[in-house]
Structure 1
Amino acid sequence: MLLTFSDSEENIMNKVLAAVEGEPTMEHISSSYNPPILIFPNLEIRINEQTVYHNGIPVPLTNHEFFTLLYLASHPSWVLSQSMIYEEVWKAPPEHCGAAVTNVISQIRRKIGDGYIETVVGSGYKFVG
Protein backbone atom coordinates (compact mmCIF):
# COMPACT_ATOMS: atom_id res chain seq x y z
CA MET A 1 0.00 0.00 0.00
CA LEU A 2 1.33 3.45 -0.91
CA LEU A 3 0.21 6.58 0.90
CA THR A 4 1.06 10.16 0.01
CA PHE A 5 0.28 13.18 2.13
CA SER A 6 0.21 16.89 1.63
CA ASP A 7 -0.72 17.91 5.20
CA SER A 8 1.73 18.33 8.04
CA GLU A 9 2.56 15.26 10.10
CA GLU A 10 0.60 16.59 13.08
CA ASN A 11 -2.56 17.07 10.98
CA ILE A 12 -2.14 13.57 9.59
CA MET A 13 -1.75 12.07 13.07
CA ASN A 14 -4.84 13.91 14.28
CA LYS A 15 -6.87 12.66 11.31
CA VAL A 16 -5.69 9.07 11.81
CA LEU A 17 -6.45 9.18 15.53
CA ALA A 18 -9.92 10.63 14.89
CA ALA A 19 -10.65 7.94 12.31
CA VAL A 20 -9.66 4.99 14.52
CA GLU A 21 -10.69 6.37 17.90
CA GLY A 22 -13.93 4.38 18.13
CA GLU A 23 -12.54 1.12 16.76
CA PRO A 24 -12.20 -1.43 19.60
CA THR A 25 -9.24 -3.19 17.98
CA MET A 26 -7.39 0.10 17.49
CA GLU A 27 -7.80 1.71 20.94
CA HIS A 28 -4.14 1.23 21.81
CA ILE A 29 -3.11 3.50 18.93
CA SER A 30 -5.07 6.52 20.07
CA SER A 31 -4.02 6.13 23.70
CA SER A 32 -0.31 5.73 22.94
CA TYR A 33 0.11 9.10 21.20
CA ASN A 34 2.24 11.37 23.37
CA PRO A 35 1.60 15.10 22.95
CA PRO A 36 4.60 17.38 22.47
CA ILE A 37 3.45 19.49 25.46
CA LEU A 38 3.00 18.39 29.07
CA ILE A 39 0.56 20.63 30.93
CA PHE A 40 0.22 20.86 34.70
CA PRO A 41 -1.28 23.56 36.95
CA ASN A 42 0.67 26.76 36.14
CA LEU A 43 3.38 24.75 34.35
CA GLU A 44 3.79 23.89 30.68
CA ILE A 45 6.66 21.81 29.31
CA ARG A 46 7.06 22.12 25.55
CA ILE A 47 9.10 19.08 24.65
CA ASN A 48 9.92 19.80 21.02
CA GLU A 49 10.94 23.39 21.80
CA GLN A 50 12.73 22.39 25.02
CA THR A 51 11.06 25.27 26.84
CA VAL A 52 9.19 25.57 30.12
CA TYR A 53 6.56 28.14 31.06
CA HIS A 54 5.56 28.83 34.65
CA ASN A 55 2.45 30.99 35.05
CA GLY A 56 2.76 31.81 31.34
CA ILE A 57 6.30 33.16 31.71
CA PRO A 58 9.22 31.38 30.01
CA VAL A 59 11.66 29.83 32.48
CA PRO A 60 15.29 29.60 31.35
CA LEU A 61 16.63 26.12 32.14
CA THR A 62 19.95 24.46 31.38
CA ASN A 63 19.88 21.21 29.39
CA HIS A 64 20.32 19.14 32.56
CA GLU A 65 17.55 21.07 34.32
CA PHE A 66 15.14 20.74 31.38
CA PHE A 67 15.71 17.02 30.86
CA THR A 68 15.58 16.28 34.60
CA LEU A 69 12.25 18.09 34.86
CA LEU A 70 10.99 16.34 31.71
CA TYR A 71 12.03 12.92 33.03
CA LEU A 72 10.28 13.50 36.35
CA ALA A 73 7.17 15.06 34.77
CA SER A 74 6.91 12.19 32.28
CA HIS A 75 6.56 9.81 35.24
CA PRO A 76 4.26 11.67 37.67
CA SER A 77 4.09 10.18 41.17
CA TRP A 78 6.90 7.71 40.41
CA VAL A 79 9.76 7.81 42.89
CA LEU A 80 12.95 8.08 40.84
CA SER A 81 16.31 7.62 42.51
CA GLN A 82 19.25 9.96 41.97
CA SER A 83 21.07 7.26 40.02
CA MET A 84 18.04 6.66 37.74
CA ILE A 85 17.81 10.40 37.02
CA TYR A 86 21.56 10.69 36.45
CA GLU A 87 21.69 7.73 34.06
CA GLU A 88 18.70 9.03 32.07
CA VAL A 89 19.73 12.69 31.87
CA TRP A 90 23.54 12.60 31.93
CA LYS A 91 23.76 9.31 29.98
CA ALA A 92 26.62 8.20 32.21
CA PRO A 93 27.20 5.67 35.00
CA PRO A 94 25.86 7.03 38.30
CA GLU A 95 28.85 6.38 40.59
CA HIS A 96 29.15 10.01 41.75
CA CYS A 97 25.74 11.37 40.83
CA GLY A 98 24.38 12.61 44.15
CA ALA A 99 25.64 16.19 44.19
CA ALA A 100 24.88 16.77 40.50
CA VAL A 101 21.26 15.61 40.75
CA THR A 102 20.69 17.39 44.07
CA ASN A 103 22.03 20.64 42.61
CA VAL A 104 19.89 20.41 39.47
CA ILE A 105 16.73 19.63 41.49
CA SER A 106 17.50 22.62 43.71
CA GLN A 107 17.89 24.90 40.68
CA ILE A 108 14.63 23.65 39.14
CA ARG A 109 12.77 24.30 42.41
CA ARG A 110 14.28 27.78 42.61
CA LYS A 111 13.07 28.56 39.09
CA ILE A 112 9.57 27.02 39.09
CA GLY A 113 8.74 26.77 42.79
CA ASP A 114 8.75 24.03 45.40
CA GLY A 115 5.33 22.56 44.63
CA TYR A 116 6.27 20.29 41.72
CA ILE A 117 9.10 18.04 42.89
CA GLU A 118 9.01 16.26 46.24
CA THR A 119 11.95 14.66 47.98
CA VAL A 120 11.27 11.10 49.11
CA VAL A 121 13.78 10.70 51.93
CA GLY A 122 16.12 7.78 51.34
CA SER A 123 14.66 7.02 47.90
CA GLY A 124 14.82 9.96 45.50
CA TYR A 125 12.39 12.44 43.97
CA LYS A 126 8.90 12.45 42.51
CA PHE A 127 6.96 14.89 40.38
CA VAL A 128 3.62 15.82 41.92
CA GLY A 129 2.51 18.53 39.47
Structure 2
Amino acid sequence: MTAMLQPEAEWRAHLAGGRFMIQRSRSTGGHVFYPRVAEPGTGAEDLEWVEASGEGVVHAVTVVRKKDPADNYNVVLVDLAEGPRLMSRVDGLPADRVAIGLKVRARIIEEGDTPLLVFVPA
Protein backbone atom coordinates (compact mmCIF):
# COMPACT_ATOMS: atom_id res chain seq x y z
CA MET A 1 0.00 0.00 0.00
CA THR A 2 1.34 3.47 -0.81
CA ALA A 3 1.71 6.19 1.80
CA MET A 4 -1.19 8.10 0.19
CA LEU A 5 -3.59 5.20 0.86
CA GLN A 6 -2.44 4.48 4.40
CA PRO A 7 -4.50 7.24 6.13
CA GLU A 8 -7.66 6.15 4.30
CA ALA A 9 -7.09 2.51 5.27
CA GLU A 10 -6.60 3.55 8.89
CA TRP A 11 -9.80 5.63 8.83
CA ARG A 12 -11.75 2.67 7.43
CA ALA A 13 -10.28 0.42 10.14
CA HIS A 14 -11.55 2.86 12.79
CA LEU A 15 -15.03 2.77 11.21
CA ALA A 16 -14.93 -1.03 11.18
CA GLY A 17 -14.16 -0.83 14.91
CA GLY A 18 -17.20 1.41 15.47
CA ARG A 19 -15.25 4.66 15.92
CA PHE A 20 -15.61 7.91 13.96
CA MET A 21 -12.09 9.34 13.97
CA ILE A 22 -10.67 12.36 12.16
CA GLN A 23 -7.17 13.75 12.00
CA ARG A 24 -5.85 16.80 13.86
CA SER A 25 -2.55 18.59 13.45
CA ARG A 26 -0.58 18.64 16.69
CA SER A 27 1.09 21.94 15.78
CA THR A 28 -1.87 23.94 14.41
CA GLY A 29 -4.83 22.23 16.10
CA GLY A 30 -6.64 22.13 12.74
CA HIS A 31 -8.88 19.14 12.05
CA VAL A 32 -8.64 17.34 8.72
CA PHE A 33 -11.03 15.24 6.69
CA TYR A 34 -10.57 13.36 4.18
CA PRO A 35 -7.66 11.39 5.71
CA ARG A 36 -4.32 12.70 4.49
CA VAL A 37 -0.59 12.62 5.15
CA ALA A 38 -0.38 16.44 5.59
CA GLU A 39 -2.74 19.25 6.63
CA PRO A 40 -4.05 21.20 3.63
CA GLY A 41 -2.94 24.81 3.62
CA THR A 42 -0.09 24.38 6.11
CA GLY A 43 1.58 21.19 4.98
CA ALA A 44 1.92 20.10 8.62
CA GLU A 45 2.72 16.39 8.69
CA ASP A 46 2.08 15.92 12.42
CA LEU A 47 -1.45 14.55 12.05
CA GLU A 48 -2.91 12.40 14.82
CA TRP A 49 -6.21 10.54 15.04
CA VAL A 50 -8.82 11.95 17.45
CA GLU A 51 -12.41 10.96 18.16
CA ALA A 52 -14.88 13.19 16.31
CA SER A 53 -17.81 14.59 18.29
CA GLY A 54 -20.14 13.34 15.57
CA GLU A 55 -22.07 16.61 15.65
CA GLY A 56 -22.68 18.56 12.47
CA VAL A 57 -24.97 20.73 10.40
CA VAL A 58 -26.18 20.09 6.84
CA HIS A 59 -24.43 22.62 4.58
CA ALA A 60 -25.93 21.45 1.27
CA VAL A 61 -28.35 18.75 0.15
CA THR A 62 -29.60 17.20 -3.05
CA VAL A 63 -32.16 14.45 -3.60
CA VAL A 64 -31.46 11.66 -6.05
CA ARG A 65 -34.83 10.74 -7.49
CA LYS A 66 -35.60 7.21 -8.61
CA LYS A 67 -38.46 5.77 -10.65
CA ASP A 68 -40.02 4.52 -7.41
CA PRO A 69 -40.16 7.51 -5.00
CA ALA A 70 -39.60 5.12 -2.09
CA ASP A 71 -36.08 4.61 -3.47
CA ASN A 72 -35.19 8.34 -3.44
CA TYR A 73 -32.20 9.24 -1.29
CA ASN A 74 -30.29 12.34 -0.28
CA VAL A 75 -26.66 13.34 -0.64
CA VAL A 76 -25.45 15.94 1.84
CA LEU A 77 -22.42 18.02 2.71
CA VAL A 78 -22.10 18.18 6.49
CA ASP A 79 -20.05 20.75 8.38
CA LEU A 80 -18.60 18.92 11.37
CA ALA A 81 -18.39 20.72 14.72
CA GLU A 82 -14.59 20.37 14.43
CA GLY A 83 -14.54 22.30 11.15
CA PRO A 84 -14.11 19.88 8.23
CA ARG A 85 -16.89 19.32 5.72
CA LEU A 86 -17.72 15.87 4.43
CA MET A 87 -20.13 14.17 2.04
CA SER A 88 -22.59 11.56 3.28
CA ARG A 89 -26.33 11.07 3.59
CA VAL A 90 -28.96 11.62 6.28
CA ASP A 91 -30.98 8.59 7.35
CA GLY A 92 -34.12 8.68 9.48
CA LEU A 93 -36.03 11.27 7.43
CA PRO A 94 -37.70 11.14 4.02
CA ALA A 95 -35.19 12.37 1.41
CA ASP A 96 -37.30 15.49 0.68
CA ARG A 97 -37.34 16.54 4.38
CA VAL A 98 -33.58 16.92 4.75
CA ALA A 99 -32.80 20.65 4.71
CA ILE A 100 -29.85 23.00 4.89
CA GLY A 101 -29.22 23.92 8.52
CA LEU A 102 -30.49 20.59 9.91
CA LYS A 103 -28.48 19.55 12.97
CA VAL A 104 -27.24 15.99 12.59
CA ARG A 105 -25.28 13.35 14.47
CA ALA A 106 -22.94 10.75 12.95
CA ARG A 107 -23.77 7.07 13.02
CA ILE A 108 -21.78 4.13 11.72
CA ILE A 109 -23.88 1.55 9.90
CA GLU A 110 -23.13 -1.62 7.93
CA GLU A 111 -24.19 -1.97 4.31
CA GLY A 112 -23.21 -5.38 3.07
CA ASP A 113 -19.85 -6.00 4.69
CA THR A 114 -18.85 -2.33 4.60
CA PRO A 115 -19.06 0.12 7.50
CA LEU A 116 -20.41 3.50 6.37
CA LEU A 117 -20.60 6.86 8.08
CA VAL A 118 -24.07 8.38 7.79
CA PHE A 119 -25.94 11.02 9.77
CA VAL A 120 -29.28 11.12 11.54
CA PRO A 121 -31.25 14.15 12.78
CA ALA A 122 -29.86 15.36 16.12
User: How would you bin the TM-score normalised by the shorter chain?
Assistant: under 0.3
Structure whose residues are more often helix by fraction: 1
TM-score, normalised to structure 2, is: 0.23
Structure whose residues are more often strand by fraction: 2
Greater RCO, CA 8 A, separation 6+ = 2
Which protein has the larger Cα radius of gyration, Structure 1 or Structure 2?
1
